[in-house]
Protein backbone atom coordinates (compact mmCIF):
# COMPACT_ATOMS: atom_id res chain seq x y z
CA UNK A 1 0.00 0.00 0.00
CA UNK A 2 1.40 3.45 -0.91
CA UNK A 3 2.77 5.52 1.94
CA UNK A 4 2.99 9.25 2.52
CA UNK A 5 6.64 10.19 1.98
CA UNK A 6 6.29 13.84 2.97
CA UNK A 7 3.55 16.08 4.30
CA UNK A 8 3.82 19.66 3.12
CA UNK A 9 2.22 22.89 4.25
CA UNK A 10 -0.01 25.27 2.27
CA UNK A 11 1.17 27.31 -0.72
CA UNK A 12 3.97 25.05 -1.96
CA UNK A 13 5.13 26.88 -5.08
CA UNK A 14 6.47 25.50 -8.32
CA UNK A 15 9.75 27.21 -7.40
CA UNK A 16 10.00 25.03 -4.31
CA UNK A 17 9.11 21.90 -6.28
CA UNK A 18 11.49 22.75 -9.15
CA UNK A 19 13.71 25.80 -8.44
CA UNK A 20 13.91 28.35 -11.24
CA UNK A 21 17.70 28.35 -11.18
CA UNK A 22 17.57 24.93 -12.87
CA UNK A 23 15.38 26.03 -15.77
CA UNK A 24 18.27 25.44 -18.19
CA UNK A 25 17.55 21.74 -17.58
CA UNK A 26 14.10 21.02 -18.92
CA UNK A 27 14.28 17.46 -20.28
CA UNK A 28 11.91 15.18 -18.35
CA UNK A 29 14.72 12.64 -18.03
CA UNK A 30 16.93 15.20 -16.27
CA UNK A 31 14.49 17.27 -14.18
CA UNK A 32 13.85 14.69 -11.41
CA UNK A 33 17.26 15.29 -9.83
CA UNK A 34 16.12 18.80 -8.86
CA UNK A 35 12.82 17.88 -7.18
CA UNK A 36 12.53 19.78 -3.90
CA UNK A 37 16.21 20.62 -4.27
CA UNK A 38 16.24 23.03 -1.30
CA UNK A 39 14.76 20.40 1.00
CA UNK A 40 18.11 18.66 0.90
CA UNK A 41 17.24 15.55 2.91
CA UNK A 42 14.06 14.86 0.93
CA UNK A 43 15.84 15.59 -2.37
CA UNK A 44 18.61 13.14 -1.44
CA UNK A 45 16.03 10.45 -0.63
CA UNK A 46 14.29 11.01 -3.97
CA UNK A 47 17.58 10.83 -5.89
CA UNK A 48 18.55 7.66 -4.00
CA UNK A 49 15.21 6.12 -5.04
CA UNK A 50 14.39 5.51 -1.39
CA UNK A 51 10.65 5.49 -2.14
CA UNK A 52 8.76 2.99 -4.29
CA UNK A 53 6.70 4.08 -7.30
CA UNK A 54 3.25 5.21 -6.25
CA UNK A 55 4.42 6.84 -3.02
CA UNK A 56 2.39 9.89 -2.04
CA UNK A 57 3.20 13.52 -1.37
CA UNK A 58 0.50 15.19 0.75
CA UNK A 59 0.05 18.91 0.29
CA UNK A 60 -2.07 21.56 1.87
CA UNK A 61 -4.03 24.23 0.06
CA UNK A 62 -2.85 25.84 -3.19
CA UNK A 63 -0.26 23.17 -4.03
CA UNK A 64 1.79 24.14 -7.08
CA UNK A 65 1.08 27.87 -6.95
CA UNK A 66 3.33 30.38 -8.64
CA UNK A 67 5.03 30.02 -11.99
CA UNK A 68 3.42 28.02 -14.78
CA UNK A 69 6.55 25.93 -15.36
CA UNK A 70 5.62 22.40 -16.33
CA UNK A 71 8.97 21.13 -15.03
CA UNK A 72 7.46 21.19 -11.53
CA UNK A 73 5.14 18.42 -12.70
CA UNK A 74 7.67 16.51 -14.80
CA UNK A 75 10.16 16.43 -11.93
CA UNK A 76 7.56 14.69 -9.73
CA UNK A 77 6.36 12.41 -12.51
CA UNK A 78 9.97 11.33 -12.95
CA UNK A 79 9.88 9.94 -9.41
CA UNK A 80 6.55 8.18 -10.08
CA UNK A 81 4.89 9.78 -7.06
CA UNK A 82 1.30 10.89 -6.65
CA UNK A 83 0.15 14.15 -5.10
CA UNK A 84 -2.84 14.35 -2.77
CA UNK A 85 -3.56 17.93 -1.72
CA UNK A 86 -6.36 19.95 -0.15
CA UNK A 87 -6.36 22.12 -3.29
CA UNK A 88 -4.14 22.43 -6.34
CA UNK A 89 -3.43 25.60 -8.28
CA UNK A 90 -5.21 25.78 -11.63
CA UNK A 91 -2.11 25.82 -13.83
CA UNK A 92 -0.28 23.10 -11.87
CA UNK A 93 -3.40 20.93 -12.12
CA UNK A 94 -3.62 21.34 -15.89
CA UNK A 95 0.12 20.73 -16.33
CA UNK A 96 -0.19 17.58 -14.19
CA UNK A 97 -3.05 16.28 -16.32
CA UNK A 98 -1.19 17.07 -19.56
CA UNK A 99 1.94 15.24 -18.32
CA UNK A 100 0.13 12.36 -16.63
CA UNK A 101 1.20 13.13 -13.05
CA UNK A 102 -1.37 11.57 -10.71
CA UNK A 103 -2.93 14.32 -8.64
CA UNK A 104 -5.90 14.09 -6.31
CA UNK A 105 -7.78 17.03 -4.82
CA UNK A 106 -8.96 16.02 -1.37
CA UNK A 107 -10.05 19.06 0.71
CA UNK A 108 -10.38 17.16 3.99
CA UNK A 109 -7.24 15.03 3.78
CA UNK A 110 -5.59 14.25 7.08
CA UNK A 111 -2.38 12.27 6.83
CA UNK A 112 1.10 12.18 8.29
CA UNK A 113 4.40 10.98 6.93
CA UNK A 114 4.40 7.18 6.93
CA UNK A 115 0.61 6.80 6.77
CA UNK A 116 -0.71 4.24 4.30
CA UNK A 117 -3.18 5.75 1.82
CA UNK A 118 -5.44 4.14 -0.73
CA UNK A 119 -6.78 6.26 -3.58
CA UNK A 120 -10.11 4.98 -4.86
CA UNK A 121 -12.33 6.44 -7.58
CA UNK A 122 -14.12 8.74 -5.10
CA UNK A 123 -12.15 8.74 -1.86
CA UNK A 124 -8.79 8.68 -0.20
CA UNK A 125 -8.65 6.13 2.59
CA UNK A 126 -6.06 6.56 5.32
CA UNK A 127 -5.58 2.98 6.48
CA UNK A 128 -3.30 4.10 9.30
CA UNK A 129 -5.99 6.25 10.97
CA UNK A 130 -9.05 4.46 9.60
CA UNK A 131 -10.47 7.70 8.16
CA UNK A 132 -11.94 8.17 4.70
CA UNK A 133 -11.93 11.47 2.81
CA UNK A 134 -13.96 12.48 -0.22
CA UNK A 135 -12.01 13.66 -3.23
CA UNK A 136 -13.01 16.23 -5.83
CA UNK A 137 -13.65 14.28 -9.00
CA UNK A 138 -12.05 15.54 -12.17
CA UNK A 139 -14.17 15.70 -15.31
CA UNK A 140 -14.02 12.38 -17.19
CA UNK A 141 -11.99 13.80 -20.10
CA UNK A 142 -9.33 15.27 -17.79
CA UNK A 143 -9.17 12.07 -15.73
CA UNK A 144 -8.85 10.04 -18.92
CA UNK A 145 -5.88 12.13 -20.08
CA UNK A 146 -4.14 11.80 -16.71
CA UNK A 147 -4.81 8.05 -16.52
CA UNK A 148 -3.46 7.58 -20.06
CA UNK A 149 -0.12 9.01 -18.94
CA UNK A 150 -0.66 12.50 -20.32
CA UNK A 151 -1.98 14.33 -23.34
CA UNK A 152 0.50 12.86 -25.83
CA UNK A 153 -0.21 9.27 -24.78
CA UNK A 154 -3.95 9.95 -24.72
CA UNK A 155 -3.94 11.49 -28.20
CA UNK A 156 -1.74 8.73 -29.61
CA UNK A 157 -4.09 6.05 -28.25
CA UNK A 158 -7.14 7.81 -29.70
CA UNK A 159 -5.49 8.14 -33.11
CA UNK A 160 -4.49 4.48 -33.15
CA UNK A 161 -8.00 3.43 -32.11
CA UNK A 162 -9.51 5.61 -34.83
CA UNK A 163 -7.38 3.99 -37.52
CA UNK A 164 -7.84 0.35 -36.50
pLDDT, tens digit (0-9, with 9 covering 90-100), for 44-92: 999 999 999 999 999 999 999 999 989 999 999 999 999 999 999 999 9
Whether the per-residue pLDDT at 117 is higher than 90: the answer is yes
Q: What is the mean pLDDT of the chain?
A: 96
Superfamily of domain 4-137: Aconitase, domain 4 (3.20.19.10)
pLDDT band at 28 (very low <50, low <70, confident <90, very high): confident
Whether the per-residue pLDDT at 164 is higher than 90: the answer is no
pLDDT band at 31 (very low <50, low <70, confident <90, very high): very high
CA atoms within 13 A on the CB side of 48: 7
pLDDT mean over 110-126: 97
Question: Contact 61/84 with Cβ under 8 angstroms?
Answer: no
Whether the per-residue pLDDT at 2 is higher than 90: the answer is yes
Containing 98, the helix (H) or strand (E) segment is: helix 90-99
Structural domain boundaries in the chain: 4-137
pLDDT mean over 87-99: 97
Helix (H, G, I), strand (E, B) or coil at 136: strand
Containing 119, the helix (H) or strand (E) segment is: strand 117-119
CA distances from residue 8 to 19, 23, 62, 138, 153 in whole angstroms, order as listed: 16, 23, 11, 22, 30
Amino acid sequence: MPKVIIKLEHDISTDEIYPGRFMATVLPTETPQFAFFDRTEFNAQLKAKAFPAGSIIVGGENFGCGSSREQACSTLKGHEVAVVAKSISRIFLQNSINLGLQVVICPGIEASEGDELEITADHVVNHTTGKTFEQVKLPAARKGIMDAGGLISYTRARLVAKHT
